[in-house]
């Protein structure tokens, strides 16, 4: 463990073995940092009332503010939290807020995610695993991003929406509805425009399953079928599989509507 002499750590800070704390780092309130994590100069972790828990092998670059108070006028200093998994990278000036009491009290970041410079993750968001978010993208509160999503730069996400697994959001998009898994979405407001075949190939999906997913996606995106009609079409004409079952469950549970 290495702590630079200019760092200012709160009495409630807990550092595991192998943690490196750089110059002028500040921690506030209850902060725990997992082993072999590296916190670069001028980063600020935690907040006066909240709790920040970070797993192992995380990297926080200079100027990032991780675990700050929510930008929500209803927040009154409740002891909410930000829970971060392992192997994440927060680039320069990333901001991630703790949760709010009315939103469940916890903001979550999973494992092995890359948040590039100036990304903002608001209160009560839930980011899964193996996500890449490019520069200057903003998530409003209560956004759920599922695993293996790729997001371009300068994107904006409305509150209470869900971004499905293996989707790709093109840069400079504004998203106000749920994004169908396995698709490429783009626009202001963004809609799913095609199956993310290249992403699925790179993820190791078999060719036959990619075609099966593509068939299901086309039933959703092509024509003017209602939700009930394209769900029935997928059930009847697509080969049953784990991916198809997940896609159907995603569609059925969507409360904000599918962006199509």
pLDDT the model gives residue 100: 98
* Phi (first) and psi of residue 112, to 5 degrees: 60, 45
pLDDT of residue 152: 98
Distance CA 112, CA 90 (A): 11
User: Could you say which residues of the chain have pLDDT below 70?
Assistant: none
Catalytic residue at 124?
A: yes
Q: Which of 141, 142, 178, 199 is catalytic?
A: 141
Which of these, 112, 146, 148, 111, lies nearest to 126 by C-alpha position? 146
* Choice among 42, 61, 123, 129 that is catalytic: 123
| 127: helix, strand or coil | strand
Q: Is 158 exposed, middle or buried (0-12, 13-18, 19+ CB in 10 A)?
A: middle
- Per-residue model confidence (pLDDT) at position 220: 97
Cβ neighbourhood burial of 173 (10 Å; 0-12, 13-18, 19+): buried
Among residues 57, 124, 126, 178, the one annotated as catalytic is 124
Question: Count H helices, E strands: the chain?
Answer: 4, 25
Q: CA–CA separation, 18 vs 107, rounded Å?
A: 26
Question: Looking at the DSSP assignment, which residues form a beta bridge with residue 68?
Answer: 97
DSSP string, 177-198: SBBPTTEEEEEBTEEEEEE-HH
Specify whether the CB–CB gap between 123 and 71 falls below 8 A: yes
Task: Based on the residue annotation, tell me whether 123 is a catalytic residue of this protein.
Answer: yes
| Structural domains of the chain in order of their starting residue, each with its CATH number | 2-145 (2.160.10.10), 200-253 (1.20.1180.10)
SS3 65: strand
- Long-range (24+ apart) CB contacts under 8 A made by 19-24 are 22/62
98 close to 68: Cβ distance less than 8 angstroms:
yes
């Amino acid at each position: 463990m290495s702590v630079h002499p200019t760092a200012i750590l709160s009495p409630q800070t807990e550092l595991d073995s192998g943690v490196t704390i750089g110059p002028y780092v500040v921690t506030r309130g209850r902060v725990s940092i997992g082993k072999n994590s590296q916190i670069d100069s001028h980063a600020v972790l935690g907040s006066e009332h909240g709790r920040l828990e970070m797993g192992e092998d995380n990297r926080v670059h200079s100027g990032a503010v991780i675990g700050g108070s929510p930008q929500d006028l209803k927040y009154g200093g409740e002891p909410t939290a930000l829970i971060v998994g392992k192997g994440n990278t927060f680039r320069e000036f990333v901001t991630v807020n703790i949760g709010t009491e009315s939103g469940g009290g916890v903001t979550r970041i999973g494992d092995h995610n890359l948040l590039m410079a100036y990304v903002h993750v608001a209160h009560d968001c839930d980011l899964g695993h193996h996500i890449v978010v490019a520069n200057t993208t903003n998530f409003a509160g209560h956004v759920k991003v599922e695993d293996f999503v790729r997001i371009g730069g300068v994107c904006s996400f409305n509150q209470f929406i869900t971004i499905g697994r293996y989707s790709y959001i093109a840069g400079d998009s504004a998203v106000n509805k749920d994004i169908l898994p396995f698709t490429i979405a783009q626009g202001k407001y963004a809609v799913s425009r095609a199956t993310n075949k290249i992403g699925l190939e790179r993820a190791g999906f078999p060719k036959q399953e990619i075609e099966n997913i593509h068939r299901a996606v086309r039933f959703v995106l092509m024509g003017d079928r209602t939700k009930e009609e394209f769900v029935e079409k997928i059930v009847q004409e697509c080969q049953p599989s784990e991916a198809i079952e997940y896609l159907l469950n995603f569609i059925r549970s969507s409360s904000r509507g599918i962006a199509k």
